[in-house]
Structure 1
Amino acid sequence: MQMKPLGRTGIVVSDLCLGTMTFGSQTSEADAHRQMDMALDAGINFVDAAEMYPVNPVAKETIGRTEEILGNWNAANSSRRADFVLATKHSGEGLSYVRDGAPITGKTIPEAIEGSLRRLQTDYIDLYQFHWPNRGSYMFRQNWDYAPSGHNTADALENMQECLEALQVQVDKGNICAFGLSNESAWGTAQWLRLAEQTGTPRAASVQNEYSLLCRLFDTDMAELSVHEDVGLMAFSPLGTGLLTGKYQGGAVPDGSRMSLSPQLGGRKSDRVFDAVAAYLDVAARHGLDPTHMALAWCRSRPFMMSAIFGATTVAQLEHVLAGADLTLSKELLAELDAVHKAHPMPY
Structure 2
Amino acid sequence: MEYYRLPHSSLNVSKLCLGTMTWGEQNTQAEAYSQLDFAIGKGINFIDTAEMYPVPPKHETQGETERILGRYLKERGNRDQLIIATKISAPGGKSDYIRPNMALDWNNIQQAVDGSLQRLGIDCIDLYQLHWPDRNTNFFGQLHYEAQENEHFTPILETLEALAEMIRLGKIRYIGVSNETPWGLMKFLQLAEKHSLPRIVSVQNPYNLLNRSFEIGMSEICHRESLPLLAYSPMAFGALSGKYCHNQWPEGARMTVFKRFNRYSNNQQALDATQAYVDLAHQHQLSPAQLALAFVNQQSFVGSNIIGATNLAQLSENIDSLSLALSPEIKLALNELAKQYPVPCP
Aligned to 2:87: 89
The equivalences for 1:182-331 within 5 A come to 182-269=178-265, 270-331=267-328
Structure 2, gaps ≥5 residues long: none
Contact 1:117–1:123 (CA under 8 A) maintained in structure 2: yes
- Secondary structure at 2:115 match in 1: helix
Structure richer in helix, relative to its length: 1
Contact 1:4–1:306 (CA under 8 A) maintained in structure 2: yes
Contact 1:135–1:151 (CA under 8 A) maintained in structure 2: no
Q: Structure 1: how far apart are the matches of 2:289 and 2:264?
A: 18
Instruction: Pick closer, same or farther for the CA change 1:245–1:215 going to 2, 3 Å.
Output: same
Alignment TM-score, normalising by the size of structure 2: 0.95
> How much has 1:67 moved relative to structure 2?
0.2
Q: Does 1:179 align with 2:175?
A: yes
- 4-13 or 280-289: bigger deviation: 4-13
Aligned to 1:60: 59
Instruction: In structure 2, give the amino acid aligned to 1:198.
Output: K
Aligned to 1:14: 14
- Secondary structure at 1:234 match in 2: strand
Q: Deviation digits for residues 150-186 of structure 1, max 9, x if unmatched?
A: 465xx66x62111111111111111111000000001
Instruction: Pick closer, same or farther for the CA change 1:73–1:151 going to 2, 3 Å.
Output: farther
Count of aligned positions: 342
Contact 1:7–1:204 (CA under 8 A) maintained in structure 2: no
Q: Deviation digits for residues 115-173 of structure 1, max 9, x if unmatched?
A: 000000111110000000011332335313x2145465xx66x6211111111111111
Contact 1:244–1:291 (CA under 8 A) maintained in structure 2: yes
Aligned to 2:51: 51
> How much has 1:266 moved relative to structure 2?
4.4
Q: Structure 1: how far apart are the matches of 2:141 and 2:306?
A: 19
Q: Structure 2: how far apart are the matches of 1:239 and 1:299?
A: 9
Instruction: In structure 2, give the amino acid aligned to 1:65.
Output: E
Aligned to 1:140: 140
Q: Deviation digits for residues 10-54 of structure 1, max 9, x if unmatched?
A: 211111110000000001100101111111110111110000000
Contact 1:247–1:253 (CA under 8 A) maintained in structure 2: yes
Q: Structure 2: how far apart are the matches of 1:187 and 1:168?
A: 21
Instruction: In structure 1, give the amino acid aligned to 2:109.
Output: I
Alignment TM-score, normalising by the size of structure 1: 0.95
